Amino acid sequence: MGPSGSGKTTLLNLIGGLDRPTSGSIRVLGHELQGLRERSLTRFRARVVGVVFQDPHLLPGLTALENVVSAQLPWRRRRQLVPEGTEMLVAVGLKDRLNFPPSRLSGGERQRVGIARALMGGRPLLLADEPTGDLDIDTAEEILELLGSLRSRLGLTVMVATHDPAVARTADRVIRLSGGALRPEEPVAVDLAKRTRR
């Protein structure tokens, strides 16, 4: 969490292997990123971290299912991908929207497609950069609930970058950034009632 310009996107992009640091080293779930060649970094991105953006940038000519599987087509067979993509779309609550193009989905549904796409390949870590920034309050709440329930159902780690205190309140742990640096961690009060409900 941190104000605009504090370095949230930069930090997530470094963890996700989308950017490389000018100095220092990065280890993500046991993977040392700095020594990795492009090929291994691509594999890391395909197998370890999924990224959810503020705008999911779905391809307009493809259905929800095609959008979810297409990013993985270079590595995997279509025959495998279609059942997995279907399963992921069901997991995000879009069982009835598999063959809808993005133009027939609501903003919240499009973001769900983006989340399903990020979960492909059994990735254990989900990075979400202001995932609710473009959504109205009720839809944002639904997306946060979905992330929380996916986290427990699939055993994921979810890292969300936000400047919105309402989003931060749904987290177990809040790490603050300012001026490109992590602030010493403050104890976080976790709302246990809320967690059990989830």
Q: Is 9 in the site for Mg ion (CB under 5 A)?
A: yes
CB atoms within 10 A of CB 61: 9
Q: Is 7 in the site for ligand ADP (CB under 6 A)?
A: yes
For residue 165, what are the contacts with CB-CB under 8 A and spacing of at least 6? 1
CB of 159 to ligand ADP, least distance (A): 13
For residue 153, what are the contacts with CB-CB under 8 A and spacing of at least 6? 91
SS3 1: coil
Size of the site for ligand ADP (CB under 6 A): 9
Span interacting with ligand ADP, options 4-12, 55-63, 120-128, 142-150, rule CB under 6 A:
4-12
Cβ-based nearer residue to ligand ADP, 8 or 123: 8
Q: Is 55 in the site for ligand ADP (CB under 6 A)?
A: no
Q: Is 51 in the site for ligand ADP (CB under 6 A)?
A: no
SS3 156: coil
For residue 57, what are the contacts with CB-CB under 8 A and spacing of at least 6? 114
In degrees rounded to 5, what are phi and psi of residue 178?
A: -150, 140
Q: What 8-state DSSP symbol labels residue 132?
A: T
Q: Is 10 in the site for ligand ADP (CB under 6 A)?
A: yes
CB of 135 to ligand ADP, least distance (A): 18
The Cα 15–Cα 29 span in angstroms is 10
The Cα 45–Cα 17 span in angstroms is 7
Size of the site for Mg ion (CB under 5 A): 2
Q: Is 9 in the site for ligand ADP (CB under 6 A)?
A: yes
Cβ-based nearer residue to ligand ADP, 182 or 190: 182
- In degrees, to the nearest 5, what angle opens at C-alpha 116 toward C-alphas 60 and 31? 120
The entry of ligand ADP, Mg ion, none near residue 25 (CB within 5 to 8 angstroms by kind) is none
Span interacting with Mg ion, options 4-12, 56-64, 70-78, 137-145, rule CB under 5 A:
4-12
How distant, in Å, are the alpha carbons of 29, 47, 198 from that of 42? Answer: 16, 9, 33
Q: Is 133 in the site for ligand ADP (CB under 6 A)?
A: no
CB of 120 to Mg ion, least distance (A): 24
Residues 167-196 that bind ligand ADP (CB under 6 A): 180
Binding site for ligand ADP (CB under 6 A): 2, 4-10, 180
